[in-house]
Amino acid sequence: MFNCVRKVKIEDLGYSEFFDSKRETLELTGYSIARVIAEYKEAYRVKNANGEFLAKITGKQMFDAVKREDYPAVGDWVVITELDNKRAIIRKIMPRKTILKKKYSNKQDIQVIATNIDTAFVIESVDRDYNLNRFERYFVLADEGKIKPVIMLNKIDLISETELKLRIDQIKNRFNNVDIIPTSTITEHGLKELVNYIEKGKTYCFLGSSGVGKSSLINKLLRKNEIKTKEISNSSGRGKHTTTAREMYFLENGGIVIDNPGTREVGIADASVGIVNVFNEISYLSKECKFSDCTHTIEPGCAILRAIKDKKLDENKYQNYIKLKKEAEFYNMNELEKKEKDRKFGRFVKKALKQINEFKS
């Protein structure tokens, strides 16, 4: 029988002008490159036009690595040496276009979720109590990594239309300018819209807590049950992860999607730019505060506190802003800086008291 297998081109794997120009600048055009499509313990699966390889990094690379970002992650383009048609050595990570990373809870360690992603689908299941603060956390991480976030509300078969409308309004009230795609893998509602959203050669990352339906949605997009999902009878059992490895899949329409294990906590690391951008209305308001170093907590003449009082700014949003800012600041601080911050705060109080006294007299 004649077996016709279409040859894969690297463009089908998401290779673009950006990586090509980097490859040229770094004089790597003569070397074999591949995309990391799965990450295992101490090994990676990489793919290029020649096929798929199980790949490891060199001892030198491991020795030189100082932080998590120095290791390959799913989505990376890497320079490889093909050992045979199944195994390869990763020599170098090509410069990244985007990176999505988070902090582990209670630890300083960074986790790279994926790289070179265009859009992050932040998925919540409508049958659960979800809060808008979590969306905001994801938005900060996405903004910091130069990635566009999109909200996906899954399992809409479990609620009424009125209830869904309420949820959507609630989200729109808190966030302007974010796309929302309501879906159900049972009724297939919204799946067409999702497929249309996905563009050829672009990479999409599926994020969200365990059990929201990330793998089920990707299976629908793949039109086969390629990924193992939670048993229906087991669907109420929370906390147990069905997907354990990050993995990339290629859709018929040319889109590239990455499935992730459910993220329990979304810790913020060094994301100060992301915070400023996501909370831009707060950053904008703060320019009108009386004191240029206003902490927006107790100061007189604080434009933010006034906006909350006048119901022009959502108090929950403001509180989440303060929380995320503290998390980011704490991440960046070392012992010396903590002391410096104390000193600055002391100076600030002294100055504020002086100004208040001047105002009184």
Ligand X SMILES: Nc1nc2c(ncn2[C@@H]2O[C@H](COP(=O)(O)OP(=O)(O)OP(=O)(O)O)[C@@H](O)[C@H]2O)c(=O)[nH]1
Contact residues for Mg ion, defined by CB under 5 A: 214-215, 242-243
Q: What is the CA radius of gyration of the chain?
A: 24
Nearer to Mg ion, 97 or 230 (CB): 230
Residue from 214, 246, 317, 325 touching ligand X (CB under 6 A): that is: 214
Helices (H), ranges, 78-145: 132-144
Binder to ligand X among 158, 171, 180, 191 (CB under 6 A)? 158
Is 186 a residue that touches ligand X (CB under 6 A)? yes
Q: Does 325 bind Zn ion (CB under 5 A)?
A: no
CB of 242 to Mg ion, least distance (A): 5
Determine if 304 is a binding residue for Zn ion (CB under 5 A). yes
Paired tokens of 156: 């809409």
Contact with Zn ion (CB under 5 A) among 47, 296, 317, 325: 296
Least Cβ distance, residue 181 to ligand X (angstroms): 12
Give the Cβ contact number of residue 314 at 10 Å: 16
Task: Give the three-state DSSP class for 190.
Answer: coil
Question: Does the footprint of ligand X cover residue 102 (CB under 6 A)?
Answer: no
Classified as helix, coil or strand, 91 is strand
Q: How many CB atoms lie within 10 A of CB 156?
A: 21
Which of ligand X, Mg ion, Zn ion, none does residue 289 bind to, with CB < 5 to 8 Å depending on kind? Zn ion
Q: Does 289 bind Zn ion (CB under 5 A)?
A: yes
* Contact criterion met (CB below 8 Å) for 190 and 182: yes
Q: Which of 87, 202, 241, 306 binds ligand X (CB under 6 A)?
A: 241
Stretch that binds ligand X, among 65-73, 208-216, 331-339, 352-360 (CB under 6 A): 208-216
Which of 191, 261, 270, 295 touches ligand X by CB under 6 A?
261
Span interacting with ligand X, options 60-68, 73-81, 154-162, 344-352, rule CB under 6 A: 154-162
Report how far residue 290's alpha carbon sits from residue 298's, in angstroms, rounded to the nearest whole number.
Answer: 12
Distance CA 71, CA 73 (A): 7
Position 155 contacts ligand X (CB under 6 A): yes
Q: Which of 211, 255, 267, 274 binds ligand X (CB under 6 A)?
A: 211
Site for ligand X (CB under 6 A): which residue of 243, 255, 256, 269? Answer: 243
Q: Which of 125, 170, 175, 119 is nearest to 149 (CA)?
A: 119
Residues 245-284, one symbol each (x = binds Zn ion by CB under 5 A, - = not), give ----------------------------------------
CA distances from 179 to 198, 256, 336 (A): 13, 19, 43
Shortest separation between residue 241's beta carbon and ligand X, angstroms? 4
Closest CA to 107 of 321, 260, 269: 269
DSSP string, 224-246: S--S----GGGTT-TT--S--S-
Whether 214 contacts 243, CB under 8 Å? yes
Positions in the binding site for ligand X (CB under 6 A)? 154-155, 157-158, 184-186, 210-216, 229-230, 232, 235, 241-243, 261-262
